[in-house]
Amino acid sequence: MAEIRVNRLQKNFGEFVAVKESSFTVKNGEFFCLLGPSGCGKTTTLRMIAGLELPTSGEIILGDDDVTFKRASERDIAFVFQLFALYPHMNVRANIGFPLKCDGLSRPEIRKRVEETAQILRITDLLDKPVSGLSGGDRQRVALGRAIVRKPMAFLMDEPLGALDSEFRHVMCNELRALHNRLKATTVYVTHDQLEAMSMADTIAVMNQGVIEQLGSPREIYDRPVSMFVADFIGSPSMNFLNLRTGLKAGSTSIFIDQTSVTIPAVREETAEADLVLGVRPENIFFSDSDGLPGDVFGVEYLGTTQIVTVTTGRGTVKARISSDTKAEIGDRVRLKFRPDKLSIFEKSSGRVLKSALHEGVTHG
């Protein structure tokens, strides 16, 4: 197991910049997620770490070894593909043992290691079956087996659950995380699914257009997004954005929206009057009888323990996640209050968050 350090990594495909000067460190034994919409450069980054793609510039250090321009076969890493890439002309046992065969291990040794691996993944009964008859989940397990059998320095996974149906994806999510807890293997995991990333990762890097926008724990990324992109990408329903035009003084702890005072985390930077955006997560919105931002209930989605209430206000549509016990019917006049310590204010032109008490100590990409 080893640490992976990625330093100012860049990849151009002709004119197109797929990955732009990205730097991050995956600590030894960490479950690291590269999260972003398709085409954001996350897979390219992973393929460069694997050695399947050579970077235009920058360096990749695996353990103590600079592997930037080494062949894939010379890096001690394992890769799990989205489409599994199980060799169809071999059975499960041969598939899992294939990397060991290359290392020149003896047959009994290969057999032993394959069987150990199969036990970890609980696929011992599948060992002598052809891979073509396996279900998606079993194929995924075999692909994982092929990765862990070699005890590599790091695991790289490219949307390994993307080809599974949603129900099964959840099961495999738990299994993967349990496996990671057991093996303590450095893992880089690429996904566009925020739920997967949130539920499994120790650290998430949110990528957008080749740039890492934010790097942090799932909680940090959720609660303290550094940009409107991150705020919007993470969370379902996503963060509500309320447009306002005002200036802010350092240290101020409230803003006015339509004559309603809203308490915000203490602002740490001064802004001249500009177009700003107040970001508030649906679950940080409450209904109030007396004061707050007025609005009309436009729609109600009942979800069991909670409900998503869509409210039209003078500042646009707002979605609130409130307890199902609260009565809300379409057409109701309601007043909205926000949880003061979890509000972010963004600069509309750049999408950047304004420094505040909430955002101290957050790592920007």
Partner 1 sequence: MNARSSTAHSVVEPSLTSRRVASVLVIVYAFVTLIPLFWIFATGFKTPPDSISYPPKVIFEPSLEGYCNLFTTRTRQTSEYIAQLGPPEGICDEVTRRREMVIAGTSNYAPRFINSVIIAFGSTFLSVFLGVMAAYGFSRFKVPLKDDLLFFILSTRMMPPIAVAIPIYLMYRELGLSDTKLGMILLYTAVNVSLAVWLLKGFIDEIPREYEEAAMIDGYTRLQAFRKVVLPQATTGIAATAIFCLIFAWNEYAFAVLLTSGDAQTAPPFIPTIIGEGGMDWPAVGAGTTLFLIPIFIFTILLRKHLLRGITFGAVRK
CA distance 302 to 322: 10
CA distance 86 to 4: 26
Number of residues that bind partner 1 (CB under 8 A): 29
CA distance 93 to 19: 37
Shortest Cβ 65–partner 1 spacing (Å): 15
Shortest Cβ 97–partner 1 spacing (Å): 10
Q: Which one of the spans 28-36, 65-73, 295-303, 347-355 is the region binding partner 1 (CB under 8 A)?
A: 65-73
How many residues does this entry show for the chain? Answer: 365
Interacting positions 341-360 with partner 1 (CB under 8 A) = none
CA distance 58 to 6: 8
- For partner 1, the closer of residues 79 and 222 by Cβ is 79
Shortest Cβ 55–partner 1 spacing (Å): 17
CA distance 251 to 266: 5
CA distance 44 to 10: 10
Residue in the block written with tokens 């960490």 = 30
Query: 1, 17, 61, 163: which one contacts partner 1 (CB under 8 A)?
Result: 163
CA distance 290 to 335: 7
Token pair belonging to 62: 């695996």
Residue 31: DSSP 8-state: E
Torsion of CA 126, 128, 133, 135, to 10 degrees: 20
- For partner 1, the closer of residues 77 and 257 by Cβ is 77
- For partner 1, the closer of residues 77 and 255 by Cβ is 77
Shortest Cβ 190–partner 1 spacing (Å): 14
CA distance 141 to 123: 8
Query: 54, 72, 178, 330: which one contacts partner 1 (CB under 8 A)?
Result: 72
Query: 13, 87, 256, 302: which one contacts partner 1 (CB under 8 A)?
Result: 87
- For partner 1, the closer of residues 88 and 304 by Cβ is 88
Interacting positions 125-154 with partner 1 (CB under 8 A) = 131-133, 136, 146, 150
Q: Which one of the spans 34-42, 48-56, 309-317, 327-335 is the region binding partner 1 (CB under 8 A)?
A: 48-56
- For partner 1, the closer of residues 76 and 332 by Cβ is 76
At residue 364, the 3 state secondary structure works out as strand
Binding flag, residue 105, partner 1 (CB under 8 A): no
C-beta separation of 233 from 279 below 8 A: no
- Where on the chain is the footprint of partner 1 (CB under 8 A)? 50-52, 71-73, 75, 77-79, 81, 83-89, 98-99, 102-103, 131-133, 136, 146, 150, 163
